[in-house]
């Protein structure tokens, strides 16, 4: 048992939090909607610090993630419908851009050029439309998507997955989150 847990023990605190939050969102996403928005905010903040080339200290990365998460959680609690619209837009952009990138690099073996950006723009628009039209379904989709994203990032760090395995794991976890949350009979929280 100890050998099985060794890779998890050596993870950073950010990834421990991502794994726990991702698992909680996949199971209780509609009830923990504020956690979905907080997790998405923290993920985007940490991702942006890496993309901007700023090599921050681990404590600073945790600080940035915590602040972005708190801002996201407060925003989600204060304005649930607006937070869902923002989350739908961001999640739609991230998923469509990532899937397009993986298809180009791993299946077509081509340089993706500007296709991921174009797909992200379309995904952002579709995510916003979906979040506005179908609130309850959007709650489940957004929380499952964020939960799958967070959990995949943590598990990928443990098992060093390539982008194809990450995408397959994210899709599988997303579907599992949809099925688990759809099976729950309790209604989601009331809209402001």
The pLDDT tens digits for 34-85 are 777 777 777 777 777 666 655 667 677 677 777 877 787 777 777 777 777 8
Decide: 170 and 161 in contact? Cβ < 8 Å.
no
Residues 111-169: tens digit of each pLDDT: 888 888 899 999 999 988 888 777 778 788 888 988 898 899 888 888 888 888 888 99
Number of domains present in the structure of the chain: 1
In a domain, 67, yes or no: yes
Cβ partners under 8 Å of residue 118, min gap 6: 100
Cα separation, 145 vs 178, whole angstroms? 9
* Average pLDDT taken over every residue of the chain: 79
171 domain-assigned: yes
- 188 located within any domain: no
Is 52 contained in some domain? yes
Closest by CA position to 89, among listed 121, 127, 118, 117: 127
Percent of the chain clearing pLDDT 90 (strictly above)? 11
Answer yes or no: is 3 within a domain.
no
54 part of a folded domain: yes
Is the residue at 2 inside a domain? no
Please give the Cα distance from 136 to 169 (Å, whole number): 24
The answer to whether residue 76 is domain-embedded is yes
**Domain range for 61:** 11-183
């Amino acid at each position: 048992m100890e050998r099985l847990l060794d890779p998890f023990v050596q993870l950073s605190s950010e990834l421990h939090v991502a794994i726990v939050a991702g698992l909680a969102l996949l199971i209780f996403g509609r009830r923990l909607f504020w956690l979905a928005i907080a997790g998405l905010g923290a993920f985007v903040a940490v991702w942006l610090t890496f993309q901007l080339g700023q090599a921050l200290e681990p404590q600073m990365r945790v600080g940035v993630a915590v602040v972005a998460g708190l801002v996201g959680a407060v925003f989600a609690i204060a304005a649930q419908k607006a937070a869902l619209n923002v989350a739908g837009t961001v999640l739609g952009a991230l998923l469509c851009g990532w899937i397009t990138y993986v298809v180009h690099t791993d299946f077509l073996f081509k340089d993706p050029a500007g296709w991921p950006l174009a797909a992200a723009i379309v995904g952002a628009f579709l995510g916003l439309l979906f979040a506005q039209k179908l609130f309850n379904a959007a709650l489940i989709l957004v929380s499952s998507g964020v939960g799958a994203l967070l959990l995949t990032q943590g598990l990928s760090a443990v098992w060093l997955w390539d982008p194809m395995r990450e995408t397959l794991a994210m899709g599988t976890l997303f579907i599992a989150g949809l099925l688990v949350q759809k099976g729950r009979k309790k209604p989601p929280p009331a809209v402001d």
